[in-house]
Amino acid sequence: QQQQQQQQMQNMQRQVEKMETSNGNTTKGVVVQEPPKSTSSDDKNVAASNSNEKNEDQAGDDSSEKDTSGNAVPSDIRYTEEGKQIPVGNGGTTTRYKWTQTLNEVTIAMAIPPNTRAKDLKVELKKKSISISHLPSKKSLLDGTLSNEIQTSDFESTWSIESNVILVMLEKKNKDWWEHVLEEDFASEIIDTELLDKTHKISDYDTATQGMIRKILFDQRQERLGLPSSDEILHEETSKKVGGNEMCSGVGNGIITNVEDLKKNLPPGAEFIDY
């Protein structure tokens, strides 16, 4: 047995020398290999025990939460001390989809099987539920109860496909901020609405409100510059004399009754808003 071990050592040494020579290194190395140690039954038991402990430790480290389907919640999400998601784009991330929101609508982005076409999907949007099915595979991609009601007319809540992702635009029935999209969403998928960016764009409001906001902003600017307000400008334009006739309240010859004519006579920076 000792002769066999010595022979193995010599063979390994020759192999190392050949490798070093082929690499341009002429220094001869010496490799010493200790004879394999016999493993007693006690050693085997200790090794098995250490292996089990290692597996248990790894299982214990897998502390990521699971959703109702047993899917792991993404670990790159940031949470508040209360355990709610810190919103991104005023929305959040779930194990199945990402979502964002404005005051008027919610947008869901979810991956779908490659090369899926619109006719391969069955999408049902109801005022309190959503269902998305992949017809070729007969699989349900998303199915649940919405946390809030939506508008369901043909032109208000819609969907489209872009690069193997389905985008679902849900028009809110009430202009409220959502904490989550589906009632079935996992607890860790709820966002903290206190951290939302609640600044609104003028376009988020209806036409009448937009007109009032623009009027207020314009008047504030005019006041800072020491210039006439929108009401004063409008009164001045409608009170001008055209052809010797007084222009007042739409009465008399030469009165500007066409809105386009009135717009042409406004000073630079002024905007006519009919609300």
Token pair belonging to 44 = 């085997």
Q: Where does the pLDDT of residue 43 fall: very low under 50, low under 70, confident under 90, or very high at 90 and above?
A: low
E strands of the chain, at which residues? 92-93, 98-101, 105-111, 121-126, 129-134, 139-145, 158-161, 165-171, 241-242, 245-246
Please say whether the beta carbons of 145 and 129 come within 8 A: yes
Instruction: Identify the band that residue 72 occupies on the pLDDT scale cut at 50, 70 and 90.
Output: low
Nearest to 270 by CA among 219, 236, 226, 203: 219
Q: Mean pLDDT over residues 74-89, rounded? A: 88
Q: Quote the CA–CA distance of 116 and 210 in Å, as a whole number.
A: 40
pLDDT digits (tens, 9 = 90+) for 15-40: 544 544 444 444 333 344 444 454 45
Closest CA to 265 of 247, 244, 240: 240
**DSSP class of 87:** P
Confidence of residue 3 (pLDDT cuts 50, 70, 90): low
- Indicate if the pLDDT at residue 254 is higher than 70: no
Average the pLDDT over each of 24-28, 213-217, 230-234, 245-249 and give the range with the smallest value.
24-28
Q: Which residues pair with 245 in a beta bridge?
A: 242
pLDDT tens per residue, range 118-151: 999 999 999 999 999 999 999 999 999 999 999 9
pLDDT greater at residue 267 or residue 130: 130
**Of 9-23, 89-103, 194-208, 223-237, which has the strongest mean pLDDT?**
89-103
pLDDT given at position 153? 82
Residue 93 pLDDT = 95
How many Å apart are CA 90 and CA 153, to the nearest integer?
A: 25
Q: Are 82 and 92 in contact (CB under 8 A)?
A: no
CA–CA distance, 213 with 252 (Å, rounded to integer): 33
One-letter identity of residue 71:
N
Average pLDDT for residues 32-58, to the nearest whole number?
Answer: 50
